[in-house]
Every structure is written in structure tokens, then in C-alpha cells.
A and B are shown apart, each in its own frame.
Chain A
Amino acid sequence: MSLVSDRSQIVLLGILALLCIAISLAAPQFYTGANVIAILRQCALVLIVATGMTMLLVAAEVDLSVGASLAFTGCVGMDVTNRTGSLVLGTLAALAFAGGVGLFNGLVVTRLKVNSLIATIATMMMLQGGVYLYTREAVQNLHQIRAFTELGAGYVGGLPIPVLIAALIFIAGFVALRFTTFGRYLYAVGANGKAARLSGLRAERLKLVAFLATGLLVGVAGLILASLMNAGQPTAGRGFELTVIAAVILGGTSLSGGRGTLVGTLLGVLVLKVIDNGIIILRWNQDLQMVVPGVVIILATWLDLVRRRRDAR
């Protein structure tokens, strides 16, 4: 199985390399340090949440509320930091809120047995409404704590801090999925929910953990976004859920569960963000930022399918 997934990543790696070379030839600004950092910073936000989303999709569930939760979390984090003057309390509040949303989604799906697509559309609606009940306008940075600004815009050893955070989360997620029983069971639950339950695995608890992890990761991303924008923005995060899910699917994770890797997700994030960036660097019509990813996702899924069918033969 690992061999198959490795090969599917070669296709993506090829697409990514081709894209980078083609864009660089047409516009050398593409591979300047400034642009590479800009791309990586955008990738970081998506990758952090996509790490959790990969686990959910592997377990045959999905979370569409991450975009709405991202905006709400940023507002909560900024507001609590303003009120208490403590970045630690603000961070904890943001994580608690986002984790709570994840837990709520998980409980609705595992306990009430609501299909996760519907449950999280409903959570998305409630969060979109709720954030405006919480704040009418952007929550301004009144505390001016330096460490908060550093979270989004700072550097350690030449690397942007969000990229480092994303890398740490990615490695942790990679280890958890690949080398722990949690990861192995998650694949088993997604591949065949019924059989896994019969063999004594606590399928529902595993799914709950995946929802909670996704929620917490949204909290991390929400804080970074609030730092980057220097405000908690209730209007942020629109369509973010689709970008995250598209990246995970592009990375070869199956929507029906049981199959997918984080390395694939990483490549998926990179491909989508390079396309997004390339269209601006090449000064193409920005409406293509919607069309091209649509084509790429269908195409990549199809190529993956063809390759797997050939391998199966």
C-alpha cells in the first residue's frame, strides 16, 4: 500500500515541478526569495488545517465548518487578548473555542449519527451567524503585544514562523498517521467502518479525536491569520474549507475513507497555491484562479484512478 501511495505522489511531484519550471521560465520573479516566502506563508495556513482534514477524510468524515471557524477563532483570540492583556489567555481561548467547535462536530457526527457533510454545513451556518452576533466589526489589535505580531510576520533562522509551525504540525501528524496505532486504526475505520467496529476498535472515539484535532488546528491557523491581518476579521475564511478539502483530495486522499497520506496533502497544498500565485505572477486574468484548480482536481483524481486500476491489474 505504501508503494502505491508513493507512486501517486510522483505524479503530483511531476505536476508541481512542471508548474514551477513553466512559471519560472515565463516570469523569473516566481523564484525570488520574496515570492517563495509569500507562497510558503499561504501554504502554511492551508497545510495546518489540511493535516487535520486528511485524518478526517482517512476516517471517511469531512468538516466543512473550518472556514467559518477560522474567522470566529481569530475574533475570539484577539478579543480575549485585548481584554486580558495576556497573549497566553488569548491563545488558550482561541484554541478552546476552535477545539470546542471540533468537539461539537465530532459529537453530532458520532453520537447523533448525522452525516458529517450535512452536520458541518449546519455548523458552518451557525458559526457564520454567530460571529456577527459576537462582533459587528473587525476586532482591532488594541494590545500591540509584539509576540502576537511575530506569530504571523516573524522569522526564525530565515524561515517565517507560520511555516515553522506548519512544519512541526505536519511532522507530528505524519508520525501519528504512519507510526502509531491511532493512525493504523484510523485507516481501518475509514476503509471499513463496520468491520473495524466488529473487531473491537472504538471507531467513534477515533473519529471524535480526528474532529477535535481538526478543530484545534483551525484554532492555530486562526491565530496566525489574525496576526497576519493584525485584526480578528469576521469576514475572513470564506471558501477556505473548499481550498483545504481540494488540497487534501488532490493529494490522493480518498473521499470514501481509508486511503491517503500527509505527504500527498503537502504536495496538494503546494500545487494549488503555486497555481494561485502563478496566475498573479503571470498577470493572467484572476478569474482563472477558480477555473484552473477545478480542472486540475478532476484531472489529478482521474490520473490517480487510472494508475491504480492499472496497478490492480
Chain B
Amino acid sequence: MPQSVSSLAAAPAGPSLLRRLARRNEIALLLSLLAVIAFFALASDTFLTTRNLTNVLGQAALPLVAGIGVAIVFISGEVDVSIGSLVAAIAIPLITIMNATESFALGVAGALALGLAVGVVNGYLAAYLGINSLIVTLGTLFILRGGVYLYTGQRAIPDDVMLESFFQLGNGRLFGVVPHPAVIAVILLIAFAYFLRHRPFGRQLYAVGGNPEVARLAGYNVRRVKFVAFVISALLATIAGILLASRLGSAVHVAGLGFEFQVVAAVVLGGVSLSGGVGSLAGMALGVLILQFVSNGLGMLNIATEWQLVITGGIIIAAVAFDELKRRRA
């Protein structure tokens, strides 16, 4: 995966340096993750159990799946914060269609259709009309949340048909051990890592985010690449939203409040730069896992929410500062 950074022929620094740098970043993240796990394993006797570790993987699946899309948008040099409301919005067609048709597949199709529409709107406004993507997606964040409240009258929509397949999707475990959401997240992660590394789109993505002028000169369609990034992000957020809806057994109007902050923080922690062209999905995944294990571990140690907020905020600043300082020295 780190090679995808290096495949940017037009990058100012040599590919081998970039590759080394990216790899080192992920190793640092991996060591941090192991340190976090080791710390909580020593501090709490219920932390290091198969049950707890697999639980955390299942819980991390949602930010992991959405994080792939957000990372791709970041690498393209844009931002997507609309995902927090999108995960709540797509649950409405999902649950209503399932209630009406008793078909899981049709519900998923409805959810994906809404996700696709949001991705197309975000992408069109940001990539083709050129409106700043933070403004666009902040706007859709508000519009979608307001729309959810208006449509549902601020009441959750219950799942009346209770299909077993839908329940199992978010709540079941593969071989009784690994939660299904974790399995889905890993499959998507591998697929997209392959996609970014071995398909032309990956190369174009890093080029467009790293230096749009050069990418344009190289003959890449900058607008289309960015547009596709927004569509991918919305579709992945839709999948995360479907997993969440299964875990909640309903379309909950307050679902996903603040989810965008959680994912953006994890993605940046994972070394994906907000200024575009830099970062990898492996780094993003490690960033998500670090924050999820910290949250779980602090809970196991019975640490109050206020301290959890203070500690998590401190970790984010420290980690990103460390990363930046390292980058500058290199």
C-alpha cells in the first residue's frame, strides 16, 4: 500500500524516500497500537480476552469502513464531513423498504441509492462547481440531519419485520468468534488497498491530491477523480450506516451525531494529510484501532467520560504533532 504514494511520478521527492517515510509512519502507528494494548492488558484483567478484543474489532468496523472513504477524499485533497448525518439518513430507506417489502436486498438497494445520490451531489458541487468541499459537506451534514428530523418527526423508525439476515449482519459472529462487521471491514479494507495500489485510479488519486496542476499536465481528469472519491466515500458511509442500523435494529434519528469528528480524527491520526496526496489505508486503519482500543480500555478501567475526552484530545494533538515534527525532520 505505501507504494501507492511512491507511484506518483511527479512528486518532488524521490520515490524511495517517500516509500521509506510512509512505511516508517505505519510502523510507528503499529508500535503505538501495541503499546496501547499492552498498557491496558496490564492495567485491566478483563481487557485481554478474546471476547473483548473481538468486540473492539466489531466496534471499530463502522469507523473503519467509513474511514476508507474519508481517507480517499482526503488523499484527493478534499474533505468530507457529511458522513455523520449520512449514516442516519440511509437507515430510513433501508428500514422503511424492508418493512414494506420484507426484502433485505431491496432495503440495501434503497440505502445505496440514497448514498449514491448524496455522493453525486457532494462530488458535483465540490469537484465540478469548485465549491470548497468543507462548505459543501458541512451544508449536506446540516441538510441531511434536518431532513432526517423532518421526515421522521424526531422518532426512530422501528424494524417491524425483523429479518434474521438483517439482525445477523451487525450482531452475528463468523464461526461464533469474529463479529460480522469486522469481517466486512477487513474485506473492504483489503479490496480498496488493492484498488489504490494496483489500479490506475490509485495513482491518479495521489497525483491529484499531491499536486493538481502537475496531475492536469500529466493528462489526468482532476475533476473526475475528485468526483469519484466523493461517491466512494458516500457509498462506504452507506455501508457503515447499514451495519449501524442492524446493530440498532431501527432507523434512529440521532444515530451518527459526531461520527464525522470521530472518523476525521482517526484518519488524520493515521497519517492521512488534510492537505492531500499523503497517507495510506493501513495508516488510517491503525489510527481507527488506536482510538477504539483507547476508548474501550478507558471504559474497562472505569474512567469517567470527562477524563476520556481530555485524554483522547491530548492523544490526538500529541500524535499529530509527533507525526508533523517527524515529517519536517525527514
Contact = CB atoms under 8 A, between A and B. Distances in A.
Check whether chain A touches chain B (CB < 8 angstroms).
yes
Interface of A: 108, 112-115, 117-119, 121-126, 128-133, 242, 246, 249, 254-256, 285, 287-291, 293-295, 297-298, 301-302, 305
A129 B308 contact: yes
A32 B273 CA distance: 50
B137 to A, nearest CB: 10
Contact of B150 (A112, A117, A285): A285
B14 interface: no
Mostly, the B contact residues are: helix
B276 to A, nearest CB: 12
B245 to A, nearest CB: 21
Among A122, A123, A128, A305, which residue has the most Cβ atoms of chain B within 10 A? A122
B138 A129 contact: no
A197 to B, nearest CB: 14
B135 A297 contact: yes
B320 A121 contact: no
B305 interface: yes
Given A115-B274, A118-B274, A287-B146, A295 B321 contact: no
A121 B142 contact: no
In the A-B complex, the 6 residue pairs with the smallest Cβ-Cβ separation, listed nearest first, are A129-B309, A290-B146, A294-B142, A291-B146, A125-B313, A112-B321
Given A118-B317, A119-B317, A291-B150, 9 more contacts: A114-B317, A122-B314, A125-B310, A129-B309, A130-B310, A132-B306, A287-B154, A290-B149, A298-B125
Interface of B: 125, 129-132, 134-136, 138-143, 145-147, 149-150, 154, 261, 264-265, 268, 273-275, 305-310, 312-314, 316-317, 320-321, 324-325, 328
A294 B320 contact: no
A190 to B, nearest CB: 14
21 contacts: A112-B324, A113-B328, A115-B274, A115-B320, A118-B264, A118-B265, A118-B317, A118-B320, A121-B261, A122-B312, A123-B313, A125-B316, A126-B309, A129-B308, A129-B309, A249-B135, A290-B142, A294-B138, A294-B140, A298-B125, A302-B125
Contacts of B138: 242, 246, 294, 297
